[in-house]
Structure 1
Amino acid sequence: MLSFHLDPRLEAETLPVGPLGLCMLRLMNDRRWPWLALVPQRAQITEFHDLTPLDQTMLTFEAALVGRVLKRETKAETINTAMITNVIPMFHLQMVARTAGDPLWPEPVFGRGGSLPYEEGEGERFAETLRQALLAS
């Protein structure tokens, strides 16, 4: 049986928020949008349909929980959710908090422009806020 290892690009482009039941939750290091990635801790999964039915159910549960917390904590109007694995082939579900008037509203943010990394400590503080909100949910 193969062991799970986070894709090096995902590791480099994200900050840890914490483990969920199935997924590790990561914060994209891009302060333009509050943007999370749920990464199922399963080896060699590249598509949603590669997950077992039980893992698909667990991912859906975790995505709903994270989406509610992300929307509440950011006061977003909507959460854009996508499973795009063209660039990074490791399966990950992306959730982006969106508000009218943000730099690309109403267009999708995926693959648009270069990222703007969080300032020193800013991403870690936001990750901690999310961690505490998830624990309280």
Structure 2
Amino acid sequence: MFELHPQLAKDGIEVGDLSLSKVLLLNDSQFPWLVLVPRREGIKEIFQLELKDQSTLLEESSAVAEMMADYFKADKMNVAALGNMVPQLHIHHIARYQTDLAWPRPVWGAAPAKPYEEQFLTQRLEQLRQRLSGFGLQYP
């Protein structure tokens, strides 16, 4: 049975579920940052997924990256699956700007996370859910 890694549950806010992946908003208002977590138990690497799931993950990741690039008017989209700290397979999608505090370096460790303020978080979640609903997003 699929369980979200405790660190992902701590750092992320649930946006909803696509056909394969749980979508999380990373709770750092400094960067527009979504994480896709395939709902498959014991998977650490993309190649461990069945071929159908690999294809679905690529489709979901591409859709999320394209939506974010458009919606956030990103200069660049960073998409990465690292897993050095959290072994459960998860794919980061980060909208980057030449003016952001970490540019051009990676965002990891650039500054402590700045959690969303409640009102802005509510708005951000509604906007993301609306934009992802066209891709079949189901949310609580």
**TM bracket, shorter-chain basis:** over 0.9
Tell me the alpha carbon deviations over residues 88-113 of structure 1, each in whole angstroms, 9 at most, x when there is no partner: 11110000000111101111112433
Counterpart in the other structure of 1:28: 26
4+ residue segments displaced more than 2 Å = 110-113
Instruction: Judge which range, 3-12 or 112-121, deviates more.
Output: 112-121
Partner of residue 97 from structure 2, selected from 96, 99, 105: 99
Tell me the alpha carbon deviations over residues 14-60 of structure 1, each in whole angstroms, 9 at most, x when there is no partner: 11111001001000000110001000000011111111111110000
Counterpart in the other structure of 1:125: 123
How many pairs are equivalent?
135
Percent identity between the two aligned chains:
37
RMSD: 1.2
TM-score by structure 1 length? 0.93
Q: Gapped runs of 5+ residues in structure 1?
A: none
TM-score by structure 2 length? 0.91
Counterpart in the other structure of 1:14: 12
Letter of the structure 2 residue corresponding to residue 134 of structure 1:
L
Q: Gapped runs of 5+ residues in structure 2?
A: 136-140
